[in-house]
Structure 1
Amino acid sequence: MTIGCFQKKKVYEKSVLEIKKELKNKRNQNTNGLSVSMLPKREQILIRHIHHMTNKSNKNNVTRTQAYFDFYVQHPEIHWALLGHMVSRNGGWSMTDLKGDLLSRLLSEKEQKNFYLFLERGNWLIFQDVYPQLLLYQYSVKMNRNLFHLLPFLNVSIFMEVIWNHFWEHDDRYLLAIATIINEQSYLEQRVVHHPHFKETALDTLGFKLYDFLRFNHVIFPYYPHGKTEKKPALIGDTLHHFGSLHERIMLGKRLYTILFQQQASVLRNVLRWANKHPHTGSRADYWGDLFHSVNESVPGTVYRRRTKHCTRRKGAPRIYSPPLKYAWKNVNHSPAETGDWFNDLHVIDYFVDEEKNTGGEIYEKYCKAMEKIELAIIAKKAIFLRQE
């Protein structure tokens, strides 16, 4: 380790210790009974405006995903906004997969709807928690004044109040991004992952276990290698194992952040180039139009035959139907988010310093094999059904 790296690590460790100390102080403060009416009039107006803007963009996965991207374009120093945008694209693809050519043949209509509501609730919850934070930062920059004392009035964890204050002073972009990953995944833990309703209708079902077994749970980032936009985009990304594990989800987020922002400068540049050229629709045709199509090209009632070989369409085979979100699912009217602050354990700050093995983002082979496994499962299911007849 060079002297420069050693000094940088010492400074970083000092920052983490400062955050830990501030979190201890904040944890002892009672935030119960806070009311927006306690604030000065201009701050009340700002809170109402932030709620309005958040609700406006929280209609569905497409509007959320676009809002993240628009924010990142304006504030590229907030790395999580781009990471959130790319991961949210994957959330949208997972939603429309349920109505596409593949999973719709393996899952019942009830299972499809239950899985969609599970994915949609998580997507909605994250947005209504994180987007007000982003807007408050935007107004802090615009007014050249730290406004993060308003975060508790937006029902944001004291964990993020400490982190945003630290970012405002030190501009530590990595630490803010990792903290946001920790916050959002921890926020989902009791509200979705361990919520009795979603455990019963999604996570503990045979359909979800099949989905996990088939490994169709990759997070992919399309990008243009060498910046050549006329060619089929390449894929980079990672795989989520054990969705029910908070630790696994946080570590996946850290690996995805590394892929986007710490691996090669060209990756970030070329992912951005692809994202800017392809607005999110929810259809996988957004990135591979030669393999997926937003219109169903199959003849109704025909027996499914394999269409892919190593992520290439077999000669004469129709493209895999992958509908845009607006044709797959209707918007959902959500019940209000459950109240309460998830933060109760100082050990979560260990994620700032925990080292995670860099996978390099190699995902293409795994992704192709996952599609082939799903096709084989469809054919096997049909064969069993025919034998039973």
Structure 2
Amino acid sequence: MWPRFPLKKQFKKALKSKDHPVFTGDDQMIIKQIDIRTREKNRNNVTRTQAYWDFYTKHPEIHWSLLAHLVSRNAGWTMTDLKGEHLPHLLNDKERVDFFQFLERGNWLIFQDAYPQLLLYEKGKVQKRSLTHLLPAFGVSTFMTPVWQYYDQSGDSSFLTKALIMNEQQYIESRVIQNQTYKKTVTDTALFKLQDLLNLNHILIPYTTPSLKQRKLFGHTVHHFSSVDERIKFGKELYDLLYSVKSRLTQVEDWATHHPHTGSRKDYWPQLFNDIRERIPNESRKPREKPCGINENEKKFFSPPLSYSWGDQQHQSSEKGDWFNHLNQVHNLTSHIEKQSGDILASYCDTIEKLEFAVFAKNTLREKEDASDQRKV
């Protein structure tokens, strides 16, 4: 259903707009301040993730900021997995660097597009006026101007969140997903496509039960990552899941408050992961058939913090261009989604088990090859 605000009319107007806005001295000061703050917070995955959370705590009506915080946590965990327990055995050095740069570029791009929008909203609240006319100064798609104008009038947090999900996925579509460099090194590779078979594309959302203070997880798994429509649908389903149970949402917020993001999976499962290596690399060992059932006497899986895994990256400026060029593109705002159960623990533990067996198989093959080479000598 479309809201009563004449959005379709405004979208048509945005498509035809060829205006080059002129900014006042006050406008230029705001633009400069926001640009500086965005660059400062866009240093790495940890600073971005914290910035989303800090914004949400001040402006909880902007649901997208909490969703972005949680998804960004997952991006950080995947980045550190590349230096963690399993993936260094399955990917060579170049593959891991390529995959990290792919994840980092997407994380960086979304932040540098979305965070100025959030800061403009924050500044507008202080000044009690709309600052949507400044969106073009940050290269934000013309699609978002009617959206923010509608939000200023309606306060419709759900609609704004869905629009931001759509905008950010469209924003990275040509810049990352369909970028020829990343297609060649990441998205078109067999290893990337293997992720669907291994169910590696989990988004995990931790929360803490108030009575027992136990760690729990729910979440969703994205398939067909290369499809922008599927990613938008996934984002909307994840948002629906996050806000579907009010008591659980409060528990998610409580967990996030007490567990600052480091990039290590120890953040949400210290009984299973440690940011200090306990198992000897390349040690011959049988895989754990039930890895999530680890007892206190077993060594934990290595999951380093981001600061230990990767240094800050220098990014080239975002490619110019506006993805919004046809009215048909707005169909994802109102497209159908499927209700999700959120039950992800069994699937996630199955993924860890598959990784354990994959590492065991590769190490076994390597040992046989080494033994064969020695016999030849």
- Please state which band the TM-score falls in when normalised by the shorter chain: over 0.9
Instruction: Say whether residues 1:44 and 2:37 are aligned partners.
Output: no
Corresponding pairs, count = 370
Q: What residue number does 2:271 align with?
A: 290
Picking from 96, 99, 104, the partner of 1:120 is 104
The 3 A distance-change label for structure 1 pair 164 and 229 is: farther
Instruction: Say whether residues 1:69 and 2:53 are aligned partners.
Output: yes
Following TM superposition, by how much is the alpha carbon of 1:207 offset from its aligned partner in structure 2, in angstroms?
Answer: 2.5
Checking the alignment, whether the CA contact within 8 Å between 2:204 and 2:217 is kept in structure 1 is yes
Aligned counterparts of 2:288 and 2:156: Cα–Cα separation in 1: 47
Q: What residue number does 2:177 align with?
A: 193
Q: What residue number does 2:373 align with?
A: none
Q: What residue number does 2:87 align with?
A: 103
Q: What residue number does 1:239 align with?
A: 221
The 3 A distance-change label for structure 1 pair 66 and 103 is: same
Aligned counterparts of 1:334 and 1:325: Cα–Cα separation in 2: 18
Q: What residue number does 2:120 align with?
A: 136
Q: What code does the residue aligned with 1:26 have? A: A
Q: What residue number does 2:9 align with?
A: 21
Pairing of 1:215-364 with structure 2 (within 5 A): 215-225=199-209, 227-228=210-211, 230-231=213-214, 233-261=215-243, 263-307=244-288, 309=290, 311-313=292-294, 316-364=297-345
Q: Deviations over 1:13-61 (max 9, x none)?
A: 3437x21111001111114xx47xx311111011011000000000000
Q: Name the stretch that deviates more: 187-196 or 297-306.
A: 297-306
SS, match of residue 143 in structure 2: helix
Q: What code does the residue aligned with 1:52 have? A: I
SS, match of residue 223 in structure 1: strand
Following TM superposition, by how much is the alpha carbon of 1:228 offset from its aligned partner in structure 2, in angstroms?
Answer: 3.7
Q: What residue number does 2:375 align with?
A: none
The 3 A distance-change label for structure 1 pair 255 and 175 is: same
Aligned counterparts of 1:354 and 1:206: Cα–Cα separation in 2: 31
Aligned counterparts of 2:306 and 2:269: Cα–Cα separation in 1: 16
Q: What code does the residue aligned with 2:16 have? A: N
Aligned counterparts of 1:118 and 1:132: Cα–Cα separation in 2: 22
Following TM superposition, by how much is the alpha carbon of 1:325 offset from its aligned partner in structure 2, in angstroms?
Answer: 0.1
User: Which residues of structure 2 form unaligned runs of 5+?
Assistant: 371-377
Checking the alignment, whether the CA contact within 8 Å between 2:166 and 2:333 is kept in structure 1 is no
Checking the alignment, whether the CA contact within 8 Å between 2:285 and 2:360 is kept in structure 1 is yes
Q: What code does the residue aligned with 1:200 have? A: K
Q: Name the stretch that deviates more: 273-282 or 359-368.
A: 359-368
Following TM superposition, by how much is the alpha carbon of 1:198 offset from its aligned partner in structure 2, in angstroms?
Answer: 0.5
Q: What residue number does 2:349 align with?
A: 368
Checking the alignment, whether the CA contact within 8 Å between 1:182 and 1:348 is kept in structure 2 is no
Checking the alignment, whether the CA contact within 8 Å between 1:96 and 1:323 is kept in structure 2 is yes
Aligned counterparts of 2:311 and 2:187: Cα–Cα separation in 1: 22
Q: Deviations over 1:238-297 (max 9, x none)?
A: 001011000110011011101111x11012101101010100000000000010000001
Checking the alignment, whether the CA contact within 8 Å between 1:121 and 1:192 is kept in structure 2 is yes
For normalisation by structure 2, the TM-score amounts to 0.95
Q: What residue number does 1:157 align with?
A: 141
Q: What residue number does 1:9 align with?
A: none
Checking the alignment, whether the CA contact within 8 Å between 2:85 and 2:302 is kept in structure 1 is yes
Aligned counterparts of 1:347 and 1:338: Cα–Cα separation in 2: 23
For normalisation by structure 1, the TM-score amounts to 0.92
Following TM superposition, by how much is the alpha carbon of 1:95 offset from its aligned partner in structure 2, in angstroms?
Answer: 0.2
Aligned counterparts of 2:233 and 2:291: Cα–Cα separation in 1: 28
Following TM superposition, by how much is the alpha carbon of 1:304 offset from its aligned partner in structure 2, in angstroms?
Answer: 4.0
Checking the alignment, whether the CA contact within 8 Å between 1:259 and 1:267 is kept in structure 2 is no
Q: What code does the residue aligned with 2:119 have? A: L
Aligned counterparts of 1:375 and 1:300: Cα–Cα separation in 2: 13
Q: What code does the residue aligned with 1:230 have? A: K
SS, match of residue 158 in structure 1: coil
Following TM superposition, by how much is the alpha carbon of 1:164 offset from its aligned partner in structure 2, in angstroms?
Answer: 0.3
Aligned counterparts of 2:228 and 2:4: Cα–Cα separation in 1: 24
Identical residues among aligned pairs (%): 44
Following TM superposition, by how much is the alpha carbon of 1:347 offset from its aligned partner in structure 2, in angstroms?
Answer: 2.5
The 3 A distance-change label for structure 1 pair 93 and 291 is: same
Q: What code does the residue aligned with 1:162 have? A: P
Checking the alignment, whether the CA contact within 8 Å between 1:298 and 1:318 is kept in structure 2 is yes
Following TM superposition, by how much is the alpha carbon of 1:143 offset from its aligned partner in structure 2, in angstroms?
Answer: 0.1
Q: What residue number does 2:374 align with?
A: none
Aligned counterparts of 2:15 and 2:48: Cα–Cα separation in 1: 31
Checking the alignment, whether the CA contact within 8 Å between 2:198 and 2:354 is kept in structure 1 is yes
Following TM superposition, by how much is the alpha carbon of 1:300 offset from its aligned partner in structure 2, in angstroms?
Answer: 4.2
Following TM superposition, by how much is the alpha carbon of 1:308 offset from its aligned partner in structure 2, in angstroms?
Answer: 6.0
